[in-house]
Structure 1
Amino acid sequence: MNLPQPCADALAQSARLVELIRDEMTASGGWLSFARYMALALYAPGLGYYSGGAKKFGPGGDFITAPELTPLFGQALAAQVEQIMRASAAQVIEAGAGTGLLAADLLLELEARGCLPERYDILELSGELRQRQFDTLAQKVPHLASRVRWLESLPERFSGALVANEVLDVMPVHLVAARADGLFERGVALGDDGALCWADRPASGQVLAAAQALALPQPAKGEYVTEICLAARAWVAEWARRLHSGALLLIDYGYPREEYYLPSRSSGTLLCYYRHRAHGDPFFWPGLNDITSFVDFTAVAEAAFDAGLEVYGYTSQAQFLFNCGVLACLGRRGPQESADYIRAARAVQRLTAPQEMGELFKVLAVGRGLTQPLLGFVRGDRLHTL
């Protein structure tokens, strides 16, 4: 692959992670599920992609998220967060807060709306990202930074708004290969040369049950490979146990089930990102690449419903942002001929255009105890597609 060469320190970190993976693989009989491999590659303490020190977000990192593009994303989202807080409690939790820019943008806009949360909690696994978030908030919103705290784990009880932007796509997934002779789980082993390689074994347990429930295409020749994210289902169910009133706003790229498991999508949705280049080899420089898969929003909504939550809405990111007033936020940027307005308008186009992020990204809201329709879904709700 034609990718920029990492520095020597980064390569050494990746090599240490590979040794850790090999050691765990040996202890497990020579095979790891891909979900376990992905968890180590992304989150192994001090070595994984999100727990190491490499820059991940923005032009100098590996990818750009919506808050990196423009504060208008957070300003529009604040309208929905405000409605949820006023109907439940003045608290916000952000899961996986990236650089902290979304937290800063939300706090500033909620302050302008006269609806500051009493607390803005951040649930973040990465110590390096926690420090970056702290620095961002100290720079952008020093007068509000005292409202922010970092959580070590999920709270026992919570009311308010939970925001998770691009969190579900990096939860570890199991890989399943459907062939004429049955269902197999695709995991990781060591090849004859000692390198990481794919290795299949008959699917069993929860993975087999989930795959059978999906009735995956089983081609007469070849195979149909896809992902099943048991972690996302468990995560949402755990929030359901703790949420007293309020809503979870889940923003990510993905599909409803009928689109996710189309026969034509026979190689799945797994992707890796390195320096703004996408590729399909998760064994290439482990710990230095992001590993993601698209979200099965039907599975997430079902997990929430089965755990006792209501499903309040599901729509495209574009429709959600329009419903929340992103164009009104843009209109506050000054004269339309100004450079600031033009830059902001281009960013909004990237967030909302169908060929950019507008259609690829979806927003799902689930929760408990809210009686009014949520603002972000008043037009263009697609709940019927889940």
Structure 2
Amino acid sequence: MSLPQPSDDALAQSERLVQTIHSAIAEAGGWIPFSRYMALALYEPGLGYYSGGARKFGPGGDFITSPELTPLFGQALASQVEQVMRASAPALIEVGAGTGLLAADLLLELERRGSLPETYSILEVSGELRERQFDTLAAKAPHLASRIRWLDTLPEHFSGALVANEVLDVMPVHIVAQRPEGLFERGVALDDSGTLRWADSPATGAVAEYAKTLELPEPQSGEYVTEINLAGRAWIAEWARRLDKGALLLIDYGYPRAEYYLPSRSNGTLLCYYRHNAHADPFLWPGLNDITAFVDFTAVAEAAFEAGLDVYGYANQAAFLFNCGVLECLARRAPEESADYIRAARAVQRLTTPQEMGELFKVLAVGKGIDEPLVGFRRGDRLHAL
């Protein structure tokens, strides 16, 4: 695959990050786990992919998320957010708000429904994205600016609805390799020329303990490589400690455990994205590529349950959006024969067809203190699959 060449400025920024990674490897004695590398590549202040200044979302970025496709995604999601807020408190937090389009779509639809949150808080690590979110919201919903605030840390206590769209997949993961001779953790080291390379070490500590609970396939020869997202489990536990009443709505691509760790998936799910091209080399231009891994939704649900949360529902994105009235939102959009309606219908098709995002993406709802069934899981709930 031939990838577009980054600009000289982008390459210079990447090289500065490489030097930071070299220092981290040296300080750690010559080896760091991949989770540490991924954290540096994505979140190192001023240099990492999400904390630097590169354009990430939309046609001019590296990938397109559901809110970038159509406002109908946010309008449908508002149905579930509205129910959660009415059952808990009129407050909404979005984690990793991208360009701010989902925030704008949610706010405007909740306003139409007469269910505006008193506060719409955005938890965002990227200064550059915060600026884009501010500009988007100022352009699309200027009259609602007083309700919006940005958070630097998780609140000590929270009641209401939390939305995290494509957040869990970019949390730093550990990579493990199961071989006939035992379990190894895959990390990063330097070769004699100072180039980043893969390096394995016997798995120990929390990584080894958790991997044992997964009963990973044991190959007769070669290796079985996969990811473990301990950061995601810890993140869920933190929210469980802080949530007084409400629900977390977690939207991402992934599988239940029985599908995630299939013997046939022996190379794991790690992928990198650069200018709408997927590739498998996380050492290519560190800081300029998104690095993601599919979500083990069973692990997320287990972490929530172990931390004292209820698991309210699990469905594919298609079922969730249909339950939330995406087709009704589409019908309101424009006359059926209009070009605008046709464009919007094509976007809904992309969000919901199994061959596109409808099956690959899942929605998991966990929370506390909500007794009524959630509208997004009325039909097609797959809790039994977790």
Q: For the superposition of Structure 1 and Structure 2, which TM-score range results when normalised by the shorter chain?
A: over 0.9
**TM alignment of 1:284-299, pairs within 5 A:** 284-299=284-299
Residues 100-151 of structure 1: CA distance to partner in whole angstroms, max 9, x if unpaired? 0000000000000000000000000000000100000000000001110000
Give the equivalent residue in structure 1 for 2:34.
Answer: 34
CA RMSD of aligned residues (A): 0.4
Residues 315-336 of structure 1: CA distance to partner in whole angstroms, max 9, x if unpaired? 0000000000000000001211
Distance 1:383 1:66 in 2: 23
Give the equivalent residue in structure 2 for 1:315.
Answer: 315
Give the equivalent residue in structure 1 for 2:207.
Answer: 207
Q: Secondary structure at the match of 1:219?
A: coil
Give the equivalent residue in structure 2 for 1:234.
Answer: 234
Residues 329-371 of structure 1: CA distance to partner in whole angstroms, max 9, x if unpaired? 0000121110000000000000000000000000000000001
- Which residue identity lines up with residue 86 of structure 1 in the other structure? R
Matched, 1:333 2:333: yes
**TM alignment of 1:208-357, pairs within 5 A:** 208-357=208-357
Gap regions ≥5 residues in structure 1:
none
Q: Secondary structure at the match of 1:249?
A: strand
Residues 3-26 of structure 1: CA distance to partner in whole angstroms, max 9, x if unpaired? 000000000000000000000110
Residues 288-336 of structure 1: CA distance to partner in whole angstroms, max 9, x if unpaired? 0000000000000000000000000000000000000000000001211
Distance 2:205 2:220 in 1: 25
Distance 2:149 2:98 in 1: 15
Q: Secondary structure at the match of 1:35?
A: helix
- Which residue identity lines up with residue 232 of structure 2 in the other structure? A
- Which residue identity lines up with residue 254 of structure 1 in the other structure? G
**TM alignment of 1:57-72, pairs within 5 A:** 57-72=57-72
**TM alignment of 1:40-59, pairs within 5 A:** 40-59=40-59
- Which residue identity lines up with residue 136 of structure 1 in the other structure? T
Give the equivalent residue in structure 2 for 1:381.
Answer: 381
Distance 1:192 1:380 in 2: 54
Task: State the percentage of identical aligned residues.
Answer: 78
- Which residue identity lines up with residue 94 of structure 2 in the other structure? E
Give the equivalent residue in structure 1 for 2:121.
Answer: 121
Distance 2:341 2:220 in 1: 55
Distance 1:187 1:294 in 2: 19
Distance 2:17 2:281 in 1: 16
- Which residue identity lines up with residue 344 of structure 1 in the other structure? A
Q: Secondary structure at the match of 2:92?
A: strand
- Which residue identity lines up with residue 296 of structure 2 in the other structure? D
After TM superposition, the score normalised by the length of structure 2 is 1.00
Distance 2:197 2:334 in 1: 55
Residues 252-278 of structure 1: CA distance to partner in whole angstroms, max 9, x if unpaired? 000000000000000000000000000
Give the equivalent residue in structure 1 for 2:158.
Answer: 158
Give the equivalent residue in structure 2 for 1:89.
Answer: 89
Distance 2:209 2:131 in 1: 41
Distance 1:129 1:18 in 2: 23
**TM alignment of 1:2-17, pairs within 5 A:** 2-17=2-17
Matched, 1:144 2:137: no
- Which residue identity lines up with residue 284 of structure 2 in the other structure? F
Please report how far the alpha carbon of residue 246 of structure 1 lies from its aligned counterpart in structure 2 after TM superposition.
Answer: 0.3
Q: Secondary structure at the match of 1:332?
A: helix
Distance 2:375 2:296 in 1: 23
Give the equivalent residue in structure 1 for 2:363.
Answer: 363
Please report how far the alpha carbon of residue 220 of structure 1 lies from its aligned counterpart in structure 2 after TM superposition.
Answer: 1.3
Give the equivalent residue in structure 1 for 2:111.
Answer: 111
Give the equivalent residue in structure 2 for 1:177.
Answer: 177
Q: Secondary structure at the match of 1:5?
A: coil
Please report how far the alpha carbon of residue 79 of structure 1 lies from its aligned counterpart in structure 2 after TM superposition.
Answer: 0.3
Matched, 1:98 2:98: yes
